[in-house]
Structure 1
């Protein structure tokens, strides 16, 4: 299941970007994908069911979150979101990686294997 994040839940579950401006300090207990989206964005609407399927398939192995760029403008700006959808892939113990644009299921699974280190 996709979980919606706001500024406060993002700081608790992912990274307190206000406290740790220089160094990434992941708060999660498993790798995650964060979808920065907007309700009006057509590619975002196409990506949503794919992310739902990914969340179900990898349940217990990764978390999948969503951040609405319209209601969470400060949070989105702090990550330099300029185009949507944008996906932030957060592995355990490594720096996160951002991908802008629509990814299909095959590409997402490849990133989950290669970046998040989940088989």
Structure 2
């Protein structure tokens, strides 16, 4: 399940979590963003919290994560960035990326 980001609970939802977090920076008007978001919705991932971040609506957050292109996916654990990927991702690519990230020791 993909959740909308909530600035009021950033620390609780993202920065202080022991669980793996995926942030998907997107723009609703940009087709590659929506294609990647659609692929993310089709992936069955129970052990990762997925949040979508509207690049235009949350510019300060996007700037804080140094997002310079969309779509961008950022993986975090305990507030620490593990990896990021920019550009359109297919379901197959996302599955490979997620499997690879799960193996990263913290």
TM-score class normalised by the smaller sequence: 0.7 to 0.9
SS of structure 2 residue aligned to 1:96: strand
User: For residues 1-119 of structure 1, what are the structure 2 equivalents within 5 Å?
Assistant: 1-15=1-15, 27-54=16-43, 57-59=44-46, 61-91=47-77, 95-117=81-103
Deviation at 1:45, TM superposition (A): 1.2
Work out the CA distance in 2 between the residues paired with 1:70 and 1:94.
Answer: 23
Which string of whole-angstrom CA distances, capped at 9 and with x for unpartnered residues, describes residues 62-96 of structure 1?
11110011110000000111100000022469642
Q: Name the count of aligned residue pairs.
A: 104
TM-score, scaled to structure 1 = 0.77
Moved over 4 A (4+): 91-94
CA-atom RMSD, angstroms? 2.0
Gaps of 5+ in 2: none
Higher helix share: 2
**Structure 1 segments unaligned to the other structure (5+ residues):** 16-26
Query: How far off is 1:43 after superposition?
Result: 0.3
TM-score, L = length of structure 2: 0.85
